[in-house]
Amino acid sequence: MKPVNTKPPKLTEASLAFALLKAGAVLTRVLREGRSLDQALASETKGVQTPQALGAIQDLAYFGMRHMGKGQVLTRLISGKPSLSPEPLNELMALGFGLLWDAKNPKYPAHTVVDQMVYACTGSEEFARAKGLANACLRNFLRDSNTWRTKALEDPLAQYNLPVWWVGKMQASHPEHWQALLGQAQSHPPLVVRVNSRSSSAQAYAEQLNAAGMQASVIGEQAVLLAKPVPVSALPGFELGQVSVQDSAAQLAAQLLNPQSGQRILDACAAPGGKTGHLLELADIELVALDSSPQRLGRVEDNIRRIAPTLNGKWDLRLKVAQAELLDTWWDGVPFDGILADVPCTGSGVVRRHPDIPWLRRPDDIAKLSQIQHKILNALWSTLKPGGTLLLVTCSIFPEEGPLLAKAFQDNHPDAVAQAAPGFMLPTHVESSSEGYEASPDGFFYAKFEKSPTT
């Protein structure tokens, strides 16, 4: 009698089953190990050879993160279990249900999703015994999908696709706008570029894109919105440093600080370097850029290297690995004319770009980050010249990381004179266009202070 071969079949990278299995593993790393989506993708795609497979895994992982609430609720409802075994099966099933949810505009045909989900289980030693359960649950949903959707949407987790505490926090923070803010968080981010003012103008670059068949419009002083995202390699002049990817809200940072040639400027918490590059594009300055992570500071260096040929001026950039609040480790005692304080925050304003954020954060993170923000601002203020400017920036829409932070800072520093600044930039739905949330900026907060000259 021949021995039974129990080894699962090898999944090819070209199959959807392979991408589903990898994407499910990415989601597990985020939810159960606390990894960022980018970190989890880097871990799970090691050894993956084909660009098509890499693209599919990333696409499915981001999709699964954005639809995690629906997927989790359906998994519990239809399986009748609070949690499946082995635990990573929960994320794979949530991904499957997320793909089946929208019957009108599916990412893949329903039968393909079911078939490939079962095949993914078959091709995994971890999930091989669960293929029957996966098949039964997915087909159960398809047999009466409207009823299951209605039942799932009774749960706020499915309704908003975000942790319940996050929804409650948003509702309390912005009672008039919370639903629009949650809606924008679920949308796909637009591709907005910053046109290097040393190379061209926003209007000229938009015309160049339109002539090349890429529909684009000017939405800011240097900001151009593309109707459809394209790879950065397709953007004219990107490799030459003539244009950079940066949301219109983030572009305001360098413009508000308004550096002047010959000034000494500090970019605290600089990574990944978009604002650093923008400061150098606006004036010939001496710029000190800090970040606590050597790896993240490397990204700043890469960004500056790309735009450096366009600068052609008397500029000086010094990159330093340091924590901004620990002055003894980096400051040489020479005061700054301007400081860009883009302090660490929850990232609550950029969830559409980083859908893992609400799932990685915990309610007490807001208070913990607020303490760090206060320490950084108090330390940086002492390095600013009298008459100099400090610009406080967060990519958050929580009051503790915006107006409450700015007020506490000013209360503690009588020599801090508030200047005109946008305050909260809240994402909104664009009712008058088909672009919906996609033409809306990311969520940011800005406060600007001038240090009173000494008397």
Active site members: 395
Which residues 6+ apart lie within 8 Å of 419 measured at CB?
389, 448, 449, 450
Phi, psi of 259 (to 5 degrees): -65, 145
Which residue, among 164, 139, 144, 140, has the nearest Cα to 154 in the 3D structure? 164
DSSP 11: P
Report d(CA 402, CA 396) in Å as an integer.
7
Q: What is the H or E stretch that residue 137 is in?
A: helix 131-143
Which residue, among 255, 257, 254, 297, has the nearest Cα to 273 in the 3D structure? 297
Which residue, among 112, 87, 128, has the nearest Cα to 17 in the 3D structure? 112
Report d(CA 133, CA 154) in Å as an integer.
24
Is the C-alpha dihedral spanning 201, 205, 206, 208 positive or negative? Answer: positive
Which residue, among 223, 233, 196, has the nearest Cα to 308 in the 3D structure? 196
N-terminal to C-terminal alpha carbon distance within the chain: 98
CB 60 within 8 A of CB 66: no
At position 102, the amino acid (one-letter code) is: D
- Other Cβ atoms within 10 Å of 67 Cβ, number: 22
> 3-state SS string over 204-236?
HHHHHHHHCCCCEEECCCCEEEECCCCCHHHCC
- Other Cβ atoms within 10 Å of 226 Cβ, number: 20
